[in-house]
Amino acid sequence: MSKSNKKRPPSGEIRQSQILSTFGPGAMVDLPDHSILIGGLNHWHGDKKRIYEDRLANRVADILGVKDIALYAPPVDEQDPKASRTGITAFAFPTWFVAQVEETWPKTNEKALNAKVYRTRPLLPWGSLVQGKYLNAERKKVSVVPVRFVQACVNGHISDINWYRFVHEKSQTSCRGLLWLDEGGSGNDFADIYVRCEACKARRQLSDATVPNGKVLRECDGHRPWLGPKAQELCISEVTGKPEYNRLLVRSASNAYFSQVISVISLPDSDAAVRNVVNLVYEDFLQYAETANDVKKERKKQKVSTALEGFSDDAVWAEIKRRQSGQSNQPKSIKQVEVETLLSSPFDVGEDVPEGDFYARARKLDNLKPKLLSRVERIVLVHRLREVIAQVGFTRFEAIMPDIGGDLDIPVRSAALDMEPTWVPAIENKGEGVFIAFRKEAIEDWLKRDAVQQRGKKLAKGFDIWRKQKGIAQEKAKFPGLRYIMLHSLSHLLIAAVSLECGYAASSIRERIYAGESGYGILLYTGSPGSEGTLGGLVQVGNRIEYHLDVALEMGRLCSNDPVCAQHQPDAEQEDRFLHGAACHGCLLIAETSCERRNEFLDRALVVATVEASGAEFFEDVRV
């Protein structure tokens, strides 16, 4: 990543996968000497590797409201100093700084008896600095650091706080005296931080900007500095239809940036072979073809002829027409396609070749005990899989995740990655996994039990309280249902159990929960950009998954925080854990990189009997 497109050393470096998850367009990054804002896609430079995954590209195009979209891996910085600079442009942000001086307020000769003493430092705009330094009263240059606080809104816009207007409120708004940031205590309590004007003596507590539904920081002006200085847009609240208001945001806070990504597992189909060969020569030779005769003419070139060998002109032309028209091969939801594929084949799915994208084999269930066999329908060992992840936007303050079908709602609230997107950043991971499918009739019978329905009402009530507190309209957020919460909770228990033996760290194992009408199941998988994700550990786990399932169920029966954990009620407003049933860090919560729902919608009481004995468990009296 480079600060500009000139030939000079980059300001810092980050991994490609981090760009999609943490440091994408609009994200703030602290570097050793300053703070920056990652530029939008219109500020990315250099050659990019294209990634082909039609199912994902079509879905992203629908979300962004464009005809078609391309997927590209983030650019890699060119190491050759003689080559033109490649990478990602970043902008200095914020543009207000705090001088590194050691002073107190009030000064020793001014303070009253028992008056509280604050550490104080000058608060300065960039324009007042001299060669990037603060010139103090003795005309000495003093180092500065970016101020910790900025303002942003829920639509993703971000800008500097107008500190002059903040400190002076309604009086002396034209005063431009030197501002000071007074900090008491550890400096982490907003009630102990003040902004003070040296000229007119105005002083205001920073906590005034944190009042819920407050309007201290005024209406948002729709600034999008990551896209450029002219990227401002109208900012309207989705809830009220009126202008949105700014909120105080700490640059390094965990709610400053939530990447909005969508992913698919690449699956084999009858047209995969022709798509793969067209991929090799499409951009350079075939994208402007108008008839099958044009394909025939291009075959005269050696590279095209070699790539298309064995495929007819008509087959190649049909694939080109499909791309040019933006047609989608798959109108089904992302997860629906995946679970149907995993359940469809009697034995093998895909091809067992070294460079293949997907290969899986169903395992025999002869060793399963009758009570477990009545619940488990199928176990599939996924020897190879390819996951493609694309970023479509980002949010601030609140994360918006894909629904239980793997899709993002249309339209979905998010900040833009580009003014007029023609491509989005994506990465591809190779890995392996194990899939466990559960019988529909077993789950449907479980849902009919009175204890399960009573538990579901409590979970749904907690969800409604959470939704109302966040100001989310009912049509924008749907309760995922007990099927999903049960499978999700079981998945977390299994990740903890299998990580002890599979050779992968628990944080590197990811989950995919299937809880739709096409089937119910859990896919545990691992993946990385190289071949490190295909070491065979999870496949071996799948050969004796019944043992690991037994360990997982035993782990779920008792938590180190019981009985407090088991007795937690999701609708208890005083506890403020509305999306959890019997779930905490002692039992179900895992690394957020592994969980597809950010550790939400969990309740082990739906999986096994806990000390609370609610009677809502799916695995009732099961011992493998």
pLDDT of the residue at 533: 53
Residue type, position 582, single letter: A
Q: What is the DSSP string of 158-209?
A: EE---HHHHHHTTSSTT--PPEEEEE-TTS--GGGEEEEETTT--EEEGGGG
How far are the Cα atoms of 258, 357, 375, 385, 517 from residue 353, in angstroms, in the given order? 37, 9, 33, 12, 32
Q: Is 367 helix (H, G, I), strand (E, B) or coil?
A: coil
pLDDT of the residue at 80: 59
Angle between helices 313-325 and 272-281 (to 10 degrees): 80
Residues 6 or more apart whose CB falls under 8 angstroms from that of 97 comprise 123, 124, 125, 126, 129, 134, 144, 145, 146, 147
Question: What are the pLDDT digits (tens) for 502-539?
Answer: 777 888 899 999 998 888 999 999 887 655 556 668 88
As a whole number of angstroms, the distance between CA 378 and CA 435 comes to: 8
Weakly modelled stretches of the chain, pLDDT under 70: 1-12, 77-86, 107-115, 170-172, 187, 269-273, 310, 326-331, 345-346, 352, 354, 409-412, 529-536, 622-624
CA-closest candidate to residue 435, choices 382, 387, 357:
382
pLDDT of the residue at 301: 87
Q: Give CA torsion, residues 83, 84, 90, 91, to 10 deg.
A: 130
pLDDT of the residue at 459: 95
Q: What is the pTM of this model?
A: 0.82
